[in-house]
Amino acid sequence: MDDLRISPGPGCPRGLTVPAGDLVETFSHSGGPGGQGVNTSDSRVQLSLDVATTSALDEHQRARALAHLARHAPGYLTGTVLTVTASQQRSQRQNRKAARERLAGLLRAALAPVQVRRATRPTAGSHRRRLAAKKRRGEIKAGRRRPVPGD
């Protein structure tokens, strides 16, 4: 098995290489398409990485990744072990590639810095348009009321 390479991006400007020794790959029977062959071949791939002990991340990246994954990908994280599964394809090789891409995507997203929304105010024009639309809507609804006798 080769090292897992993550392309440069936010949170890891020089990219990231996860050593093959840190990855645990297991294979099992897949439940997908394949006819009789699915019963005899181990095409389902489960790829795991212990984020807390991997040598690919520094302490800051490790803390950020664990916090992000716990919040946004709890189904993939068990304790500190990040696990992805791929069984969409018939071939084990294609499922291995899909699992590696999925794991790389999760790590890339977990290492990206959090973007804080800056509070802004609506423009004066949008404020006027909103109030004018509300007034028009109120007039339309007022026109649907029953006429009051004597008016």
**Selecting from 3.40.190.10, 3.20.20.70, 3.40.50.150, 3.30.160.20, what CATH number does the domain 4-111 have?**
3.30.160.20
Tens digits of residue pLDDT in 88-135? 888 889 999 999 999 999 999 999 888 888 999 999 999 999 999 999
| Boundaries of every domain in the chain | 4-111
Q: Are 11 and 64 in contact (CB under 8 A)?
A: yes
Sheet containing 23-28: order of strands:
23-28, 44-50, 81-86, 77-78
- Number of residues that make up the chain: 151
Burial 34-60 (b: 16+ CB within 10 A, else e): beeebeeeebbbbbbbebeebebbeee
- State if pTM tops 0.85: no
